[in-house]
Structure 1
Amino acid sequence: MGDSAPGYASLEGYLAAQVLVEALRRSGPQLQRQRFIRELSTLHKDFGGFTVSFAADSHQASSTVYLTRISQGRALPLP
């Protein structure tokens, strides 16, 4: 990331990459499109306190909302 500080967008990108890698890992060494889609659409995993959950009719991953406030140019989580 160079000199950039991590933020919410980079965290979201990191989690998206973790989801992709987990679905690929579960798909096995002989990657096939249908198997990958099945593994991704049934993925339920806790990534160190952030849980994602997919279903055939739900591609949202998480409906959790993290409230934050901006103070002196910094995003701070609300307790």
Structure 2
Amino acid sequence: HAFERLEEEIELRPILESLAARPPLDAALADDTRARLPLLFGGISVALARTFKLIDAELKAVHTREWERTFELFRLLI
């Protein structure tokens, strides 16, 4: 839902649709699932951005260390 509110403000859906339109390597997706991929990717992107602040509330710029810690956390959760 946070992504949908953000998307209304800055129109990210076209960008995410082009990224989500890439064919899966070894799985076929239903049309309904494929249609929801931009929302899924958008929601994960919002969660990723919020995670940086959870890791370090004083963070002003994201560097390699923060990316590595955030991706490690996401790999653990997903």
TM-score tier, shorter chain, comes to: 0.3 to 0.5
Report the TM-score when normalising by structure 2. 0.41
Report the TM-score when normalising by structure 1. 0.40
Q: Which has the higher contact order (CA 8 A, sep 6+)?
A: 2
Higher helix proportion (structure 1 or 2): 2
Bigger CA radius of gyration: 1
Higher strand proportion (structure 1 or 2): 1
